Amino acid sequence: MVNVTIKVNGKDYTRDINPMLRLIDFLRDEIKLKGTKEGCGEGECGACTVIVNGNTVNSCIMLAVAADGAEVLTIEGLSGPGISGNLCRCTGYTKIVEGVKLAQSKLKNS
């Protein structure tokens, strides 16, 4: 076990964790912030994006120990009273558009 302190959305959280624990699991399981979602688990889709020390990172491929002493901003930290709806941080729309264009080109060529 390793002791880490991570500041998440302005609040310090200190935990003893497995050194192989991913940041997304720290956020969701250790401190119960469920806004960060796991999509692909490979750092490709962007659904798990958080901001660590001012830089966007995929929390599904970052170990929590790498965030020891860091400041992390999650989707919960971006919301305020009365904000509703969905703030999508995935890149899924790009793949959907590419798929539609591919299907269009195949229809034109057949």
CATH number, domain containing residue 97: 3.10.20.30
pLDDT at 62: 97
Considering 2-11, 77-86, 97-106, the range whose residues carry the highest mean pLDDT is 2-11
For residues 21 and 63, the answer to whether their CB atoms sit within 8 Å is yes
For residues 8 and 74, the answer to whether their CB atoms sit within 8 Å is yes
pLDDT higher than 90, residue 106: no
Domain count, the chain: 1
Range of the structural domain that residue 66 is part of: 2-108
pLDDT higher for 81 or 65? 65
Number of H helices and number of E strands within the chain? Answer: 3, 5
CA gap 7, 14 in Å, rounded: 9
18-34 pLDDT, tens digit each = 999 999 999 999 999 99
35-60 pLDDT, tens digit each = 999 988 998 888 899 999 999 999 99
Task: Flag whether the pTM goes above 0.85.
Answer: no
Averaged pLDDT for residues 76-88: 66
